[in-house]
């Protein structure tokens, strides 16, 4: 009887483990095969891949890959690649076609993308993607993307779903933002040189859950110029919990 109880507990433990998402980091690299002396065009990707819970993991992995296709492309629309190796090959192919068309020009293309699981709880999974791409011009573009999921279903959570009352949270966040960046309450949100569209405060496209609180992250050009860099506002959970529908 004692052995039967132990065996049952082990089976129960294994069943529990099988319902827990596991992430493994996968890395991909690709360089041009065309002759080059320095700054040879290349692309590097490190990304967390979910497994152990097939349906949930598949949903998460598909969303992450679709966002990667939004980040890694050259031209008018994303590549049609169906996996990471194909995506990286498409990026390098775009460079090589351009180099063949304009052999006397130098194109120091580069892409470096790294994802990681930034936060995970029973209610929310947050994957952060840090990216930098350069395909010519005065400078490249870098930024952060926040991907939010329900860890129980694998479905994406939109920013709209995060709050009980988005308008109330937005008003609260604006007060905190103005205080941090010293913007007078009786003046335009752009009074000190920011670039909010229509001169009205907006929540950022990327919101992160962190161990310290909710992070509002504005990439370059979203609220300020490239020269001014990204803007961010960290709000402790003790101050925002009442606004959160997902926590």
Q: How confident is the model at residue 178, as a pLDDT?
A: 98
How many CB atoms lie under 10 A from the CB of residue 190?
A: 17
Average pLDDT over residues 213-241: 96
Say which residue, 157 or 14, is predicted with more confidence.
157
How many whole angstroms separate alpha carbon 74 and alpha carbon 162? 33
- pTM to 2 decimals? 0.89
Q: How confident is the model at residue 4, as a pLDDT?
A: 39
Tokens 């827990």 belong to which residue? Answer: 20
Angle at 86 between CA 72 and CA 149, to 5 degrees: 60
pLDDT digits (tens, 9 = 90+) for 21-59: 999 999 999 999 998 888 899 999 999 999 989 999 999
Q: How many helices (H) and strands (E) does the chain have?
A: 5, 8
Average pLDDT over residues 202-219: 98
Angle at 111 between CA 109 and CA 112, to 5 degrees: 150
- Quick one: pLDDT band at residue 18, thresholds 50, 70, 90? low
How many CB atoms lie under 10 A from the CB of residue 7?
A: 10
Say which residue, 130 or 12, is predicted with more confidence.
130
The sheet with strand 214-218 has its strands ordered as 206-209, 214-218, 231-235
pLDDT digits (tens, 9 = 90+) for 154-204: 999 999 999 999 999 999 999 999 999 999 999 999 999 999 999 999 999
């Amino acid at each position: 009887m004692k052995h039967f109880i132990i065996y049952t507990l082990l089976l129960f433990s294994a069943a529990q483990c099988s319902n827990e998402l596991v992430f493994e980091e996968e890395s991909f690299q690709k360089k041009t095969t065309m002759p080059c002396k320095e700054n040879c065009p290349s692309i590097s990707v490190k990304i967390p891949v979910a497994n152990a819970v097939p349906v949930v993991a598949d949903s998460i992995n598909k969303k992450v890959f679709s966002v990667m296709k939004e980040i890694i492309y050259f031209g008018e629309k994303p590549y049609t690649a169906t996996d990471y190796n194909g995506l990286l090959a498409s990026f390098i192919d775009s460079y090589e076609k351009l180099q063949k068309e304009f052999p006397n020009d130098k194109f120091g293309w580069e892409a470096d993308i790294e994802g990681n699981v930034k936060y995970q709880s029973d209610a929310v999974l947050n994957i952060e993607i840090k990216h930098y791409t350069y395909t010519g011009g005065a400078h490249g573009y870098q930024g952060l993307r926040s991907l939010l999921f329900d860890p129980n279903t694998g479905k994406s959570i939109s920013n709209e779903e995060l709050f009980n009352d988005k308008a109330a949270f937005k008003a609260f966040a604006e007060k905190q933002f103005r205080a941090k960046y010293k913007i007078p309450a009786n003046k335009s949100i752009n009074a000190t040189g920011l670039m909010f569209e229509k001169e009205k405060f907006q929540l950022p496209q990327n919101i992160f859950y962190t161990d310290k609180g909710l992070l509002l992250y504005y990439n370059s050009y979203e609220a300020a110029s490239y020269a001014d860099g990204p803007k961010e506002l960290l709000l402790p959970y003790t101050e925002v919990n009442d606004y959160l529908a997902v926590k």
